[in-house]
Amino acid sequence: MKKSDILKEIVTKKKQRIELAKKQIPEEVFKSKIQDLPPVQSLIKAISKPRTISLIAEIKKQSPSRGIIRQDFDPQELARIYQESGAQAISVLTEEDYFAGNITYLNEIKSQVKLPILRKDFILEEYQVYESRFYGADAILLIAELLSKEKLLQLIKLADSLGLECLVEAHTEKELKKALSLKIPLVGLNNRNLHTLEVDLKTTEKLFLFIPKDKVVVVESGIKNYQDILFLKILGVNAVLIGEAFMESADIKARVKEIMGW
């Protein structure tokens, strides 16, 4: 498999998964049941702390670049550990084929912790926005590269009407301009190239300069030590999203303290 095809492959598989999901639970079912759900928690509020860098700790079993990262995988237990370790929010990978995720993890984790939950997946359609709210997400990830400006606006508008916040992620200057043109409060900078899976922290250094001061900025991928955190703190980043460095660790609490410098 050529690495450059990975994003294409994931999106193709995801489209098939969405069609399957729609047959099992039609959109109308979610729409009717969402009405009775408790209000969502604000991810933006949770990670906007003055002069501090917040942590969105990620739960994921495997990834296309690494294969299985954590054998002993219990989403509820991991969420509890993250909350006890001082994380401000939790990111949950729900993509099935390449990350071994599951949408039901959202609900399971929600029952264990009081932190806002970000659903991280390849969100392409309105159906997934309704699904995210139904299963307990407080916020969703939207990848600027995968969606036209019109589609992004449509999904953000729907998410907003359901109380969900959107983290719009960019990896290049072009994607960042698209994200910023949407007048959104929350911007993600991903150091990982989703085509080649290569990671370069210089991506953040380069792109951060283009972001207006009033935005809440989350940096994703490749953050491995306290030096990285210090560098991002000096830049003025609001939060980091870290998964692999914790998932591969035998002692997650100690690793969180070590990387975050808490």
Q: What is the CATH number of the domain that holds 55?
A: 3.20.20.70
23 a catalytic residue: no
The domain total for the chain is 1
Q: Which of 155, 161, 130 is nearest to 143 (CA)?
A: 155
| End-to-end CA separation in angstroms for the chain | 41
Give per-residue pLDDT as tens, 22-58: 999 999 999 999 989 999 999 999 999 988 999 999 9
Catalytic entry in 14, 61, 110, 120: 120
190 a catalytic residue: yes
1: its two tokens: 């498999």
Residues in the chain: 262
Task: Report how far residue 59's alpha carbon sits from residue 70's, in angstroms, rounded to the nearest whole number.
Answer: 10
Task: Report how far residue 131's alpha carbon sits from residue 150's, in angstroms, rounded to the nearest whole number.
Answer: 21
Q: Are strands 239-242 and 117-120 parallel, antiparallel or unpaired?
A: unpaired
58 a catalytic residue: yes
Stated pTM of the model: 0.96
Phi and psi based region of residue 232 (left: phi greater than 0; alpha: psi -120 to 50; beta: remaining): alpha
Beta-carbon contacts of 32 under 8 Å, excluding residues fewer than 6 positions away, are: none
Range of the domain at 172: 3-260
220 a catalytic residue: yes
Beta-carbon contacts of 159 under 8 Å, excluding residues fewer than 6 positions away, are: 129, 132, 140, 165, 166
Give per-residue pLDDT as tens, 171-221: 999 999 999 999 899 999 999 998 888 999 899 999 999 999 999 999 999
pLDDT of residue 194: 87
Q: Mean pLDDT for the chain?
A: 95
